[in-house]
């Protein structure tokens, strides 16, 4: 842990300027302008500032600005040797300024480079280079010893405080980026779940409607092959047309359900048994509104179960029982059994599988199988 503390760089988010508020950016630019003003003032007000010395001071000012920018870029990219090289060249500029009699610019460069090293370099490197810069500042400063020591400690504390502040800002930026990524992933997951729900609704509606139409059309085909009379064939065709009309109605209901606008479940089951000869519905328990997914599951299972009865046991009586429990709703569909219909082999055999998958997606269960009389389908969905 200690090794990591001394050798690790501040994060790139901490060394960058992203996340700075407007007041902080104004403050940072104010500090930079203050330092530049001190450098210029020191160069222009020096007693030796005349002729070529002014030109040399201006050139040194430009070189120092370029080196500071290079130091910033090198530390931002976590490149140690280029950062140390530019920092060392800055110290060279400070020494040249001091030798040329420009003491104020030299002191400003040493102080600024000491603070920047503590803020942007690994501590194991920042500590000695900061000590070098502050040592040069203390040796050339005209203040008394106590004032110089206090100033050096204040500069070191300022540099370390800026480092801690930058690391805190960098951590905040990383957390913000992670939160944005999590929100994006959550939005994508929600979109995929919604697409799957829409696809499931459309599939269930079409599968039920087309399967029911296929029952009657296949029956019409068999009647035609057997030479049945026109009225029998017409009855099947009319029934298929009615199923197509019902399928269109169910499709509209599914779209309404996707928009959150559904007819009450009890009314839907009552309408369903009205169109199925020999079917009855019984509802027990305290009636209440169900979540959209649970309500749709009950509707689709009821439809599929009745379709299977018409296909595999035509003419059988069907009893639907809907029971509202405290923590779940149960749908029980039982038929009285009968001889296998002529259309038993039609369909893909995916009805029960689709119903079971729908129930399991909601954390429920579906049991289907023969009983003493006929066939039973039991759906349990938590609510």
pLDDT at residue 329, rounded to an integer: 93
What percentage of the chain exceeds 90 in pLDDT?
Answer: 6
Which residue matches tokens 């599939």?
Answer: 203
18 vs 12, more confident:
12
What element of type H or E holds 375? strand 375-382
What element of type H or E holds 96? helix 80-99
pLDDT at residue 220, rounded to an integer: 84
Q: Phi/psi of residue 216, each to 5°? A: -75, -35
CB 57 within 8 A of CB 99: no
State the average pLDDT over residues 138-147.
Answer: 77
Query: Which band of pLDDT confidence, cut at 50, 70 and 90, is reported for residue 46?
Result: low
Whether the per-residue pLDDT at 348 is higher than 50: the answer is: no
pLDDT in tens, 191-227: 777 677 667 667 766 766 777 778 878 888 888 888 8
The overall average pLDDT reported for the chain is 78
pLDDT at residue 330, rounded to an integer: 93
Which residues sit opposite 375 in a β-bridge?
Answer: 370
Comparing CA positions, the residue from 340, 226, 234, 318 lying closest to residue 272 is 318
- Burial of 3: CB neighbours in 10 Å, binned 0-12, 13-18, 19+: exposed
| Helical segments of 226-291, H only | 230-258, 265-274
Burial of 281-319, coded b for 16+ CB within 10 Å and e otherwise, reads beeeeeeeebeebbbbbbbbbbbbbbbbbbbbbbebbbb
Query: Which band of pLDDT confidence, cut at 50, 70 and 90, is reported for residue 378?
Result: very high
pLDDT in tens, 254-308: 666 666 666 788 888 888 888 777 788 999 988 888 887 788 888 888 888 887 8
State the average pLDDT over residues 242-260.
Answer: 69
Tokens describing residue 234 = 């017409």
pLDDT at residue 311, rounded to an integer: 76
Whether the per-residue pLDDT at 326 is higher than 60: the answer is: yes
Beta carbons within 8 Å of 263's beta carbon, 6+ residues apart = 253
Which residues sit opposite 366 in a β-bridge?
Answer: 379
pLDDT at residue 25, rounded to an integer: 62
Tokens describing residue 210 = 């087309």
Domain residues of the chain, as ranges?
A: 2-142, 263-383
CB 14 within 8 A of CB 170: yes
Which residues sit opposite 322 in a β-bridge?
Answer: 283, 331
pLDDT at residue 241, rounded to an integer: 83
- Burial of 50: CB neighbours in 10 Å, binned 0-12, 13-18, 19+: exposed
- Three-state SS sequence of 278-292: CEEEEEECCCCCCCH
pLDDT at residue 379, rounded to an integer: 92
pTM of the model: 0.47
State the average pLDDT over residues 144-152.
Answer: 80
Whether the per-residue pLDDT at 346 is higher than 60: the answer is: no
102 vs 339, more confident:
102
pLDDT in tens, 83-132: 889 988 988 888 887 777 777 777 778 888 888 888 888 888 888 888 88
Rounded to whole angstroms, the Cα distance separating 215 from 167 reads: 70
pLDDT at residue 342, rounded to an integer: 47
Comparing CA positions, the residue from 91, 96, 148 lying closest to residue 114 is 91
Rounded to whole angstroms, the Cα distance separating 323 from 330 reads: 5
Beta strand 279-284 with 318-324 is parallel
Whether the per-residue pLDDT at 322 is higher than 90: the answer is: yes
4 vs 42, more confident:
4
148 vs 54, more confident:
148
Query: Which band of pLDDT confidence, cut at 50, 70 and 90, is reported for residue 26?
Result: low
CATH architecture of 263-383: 2-Layer Sandwich (3.30)
């Amino acid at each position: 842990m200690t090794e990591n503390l001394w050798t690790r760089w501040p994060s790139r988010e901490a060394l960058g300027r992203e996340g700075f508020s407007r007041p902080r950016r104004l403050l940072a630019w104010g500090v930079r302008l203050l330092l530049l003003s001190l450098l210029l003032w020191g160069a222009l007000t020096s007693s030796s500032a005349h002729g070529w010395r002014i030109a040399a001071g201006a050139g040194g000012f430009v070189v120092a600005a370029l080196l500071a920018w290079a130091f910033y870029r090198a530390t931002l990219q976590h490149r140690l040797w280029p950062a140390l090289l530019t920092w060392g060249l800055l110290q060279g500029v400070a020494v040249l300024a001091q030798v040329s009699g420009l003491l104020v610019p030299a002191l400003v460069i040493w102080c600024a480079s000491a603070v920047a090293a503590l803020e942007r370099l690994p501590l194991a490197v920042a500590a000695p280079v900061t000590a070098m810069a502050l040592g040069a500042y203390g040796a050339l400063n005209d203040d008394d010893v106590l004032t110089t020591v206090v100033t050096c400690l204040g500069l070191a504390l300022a540099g370390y405080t800026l480092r801690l502040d930058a690391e805190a800002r960098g951590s905040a930026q990383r957390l913000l980026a992670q939160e944005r990524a999590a929100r994006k992933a959550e939005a994508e997951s929600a979109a995929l779940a919604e697409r799957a729900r829409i696809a499931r609704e459309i599939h269930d509606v079409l599968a039920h409607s087309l399967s029911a139409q296929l029952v009657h059309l296949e029956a019409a085909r068999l009647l035609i092959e057997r030479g049945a009379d026109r009225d029998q064939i017409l009855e099947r065709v009319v029934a298929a047309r009615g199923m197509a009309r019902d399928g269109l109605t169910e499709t509209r209901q599914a779209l309404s359900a996707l928009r959150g606008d559904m007819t009450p479940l009890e009314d839907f089951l009552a309408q369903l048994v009205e169109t199925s000869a020999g079917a009855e519905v019984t509802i027990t328990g305290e009636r209440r509104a169900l979540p959209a997914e649970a309500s749709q599951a009950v509707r689709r299972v009821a439809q599929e179960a009745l379709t299977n009865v018409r296909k595999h046991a035509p003419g059988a009586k069907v009893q639907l029982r809907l029971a509202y429990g405290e923590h779940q709703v149960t749908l029980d569909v039982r038929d009285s059994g009968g001889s296998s219909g002529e259309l038993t082999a039609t369909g893909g055999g995916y009805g029960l599988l689709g119903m079971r998958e729908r129930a399991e997606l909601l954390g429920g269960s579906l049991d289907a199988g023969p009983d003493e009389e006929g066939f039973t389908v039991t759906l349990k969905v938590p609510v």
